[in-house]
Amino acid sequence: MCGRYSETKLDALLKTRFRIRHELERLTPRYNVAPGQDAPVILGGAERRLARFRWGLVPRWASDPSVGNKLINARGESLADKPSFAEAFRKRRCLVPADGFYEWKKTPAGRHPVRYVLKDEELFAFAGLWDAWRRPDGSELFTYTIVTTKPNELVAPVHDRMPVLLRPEDEDLWLDERVDDPARLTPLLSPYPADRMEAYDVSPLLNSVENEGPEVIVRTKPAEPAQLSLF
């Protein structure tokens, strides 16, 4: 599962890293992106473009947009078979730019957040799917989900799933709208190599979606039980 992530890099770096040609709207660094919030995604086509969609996929055939609350992630192994994702897998794939994601590990003092990044702490892209749902007034709600896979050796001690971090050389294929064969796309959905990543504890401030500043990614250590107040 991937339930929180960060994208803190500058606009210029985002534009260069993902070869986006058009001018970007002013982007604010995001340290604690949560489901239900709007965040940048990158779409393919004649040239790559940046859009802002809501996290939590609402399939176009859904009767109620609240289904998006349950579809923040999509299991890579079953994308081609699940009605919620099959069409988007073939026709509406996107990149979700990020520079870290979070999981929570069990400690004697309770659950504590861990941040996972590349060793060089550079930008990467999650494999994403998107869709457009038409509201009763005729306007459209654009949403996305993050594809997950089995964990690598770094993530496995904490969680049994991890988001798909695409290799840069695989991003063009993932975005290619002419490709709709699951047999070509599914091999991209493997765990990212653990030896290219690192993990570290961050502040429990991350637990609240209201906390959105750089203080949530400061490296820290879990509190010991003796340090916790009972009141």
Active-site residues, by number, are 2, 103
Structure tokens at 103: 């999981």
Q: Closest by alpha carbon to 9, among 105, 93, 121? A: 121
Structure tokens at 194: 């653990």
Q: Measured between alpha carbons, how far is residue 189 from residues 76, 151, 199, 209 in Å?
A: 6, 11, 21, 28
3-state SS record for 217-231: HCECCCCCHHHCCCC
Structure tokens at 102: 């979070």
Structure tokens at 90: 């073939």
Q: ∠ at Cα 193 (188, 199), nearest 5°?
A: 125
* Sign, CA torsion 192/168/99/88: negative
Other beta carbons less than 10 A from residue 215's beta carbon: 13
